[in-house]
Amino acid sequence: MGGFFEEVKGGGGAAIALDEIEISILRSLTVQLLELIGPGVPEDADPLAALFAEGPSEPPSDPALARLFPDAYGSPERAAEEGVDPAELTARSAEFRRYTENDLRTRKREDALAVVRSLDGLTPGGDGAAVLELAGELPLRWLGTLNDLRLTIAARLEITEDEQSAELVRLPDEDPRKPIVMAYHWLTGLQESLIETL
């Protein structure tokens, strides 16, 4: 087992061997994702009030957040191309966002927290690696967070198509974007291996 998820024999789930650097990178990226998503509902909040709380009606201005929380009905530009009234589309998207974004943020936050907690529980052995086993709901939480990390990095790198990410791999080593491009491709491999394993 090295660098990618594999099926756990006899019990289902997935496992991966991670070294200290990989653990540190995954944890750091996930903590940054948590900061980007923002705080969740306070633990002492009234559950009934939280249930009926309305979320924002405007899309986020940050491109990474806009990628994580896109308009449900597409952009006004797309509406015009398809002959749909852009104002109607914007109103539908705002209404949908108002009632779903808070829950979506909460789920993304809980998934990311589960990833951080599972990484915090790892202790590399004498060979410098630790085996992380995911069972129950953890594989899906990891899958969601890996996808969110990739979407966030893609937004920061302005990647909208696969060809663009392939071009970025050929950046010279001295380009300041090179480490995050490599992290993007590594996360892509992790996500693909976890999908195949599941």
* Residue range 86-126, pLDDT digits in tens: 788 888 888 888 888 888 999 999 999 999 999 998 988 87
Strands (DSSP E) along the chain, which ranges? 6-7, 14-19, 129-134
Count of Cβ atoms closer than 10 Å to residue 167 Cβ = 12
How high is the pLDDT of residue 1? 41
**47 — pLDDT class (breaks 50, 70, 90):** low
Strand order in the sheet with 14-19: 6-7, 14-19, 129-134
Domain ranges of the chain: 6-197
Q: Which two tokens stand for residue 7?
A: 């099926």
Q: Which residue has the higher pLDDT, 48 or 156?
A: 156
- Full-model pTM: 0.86
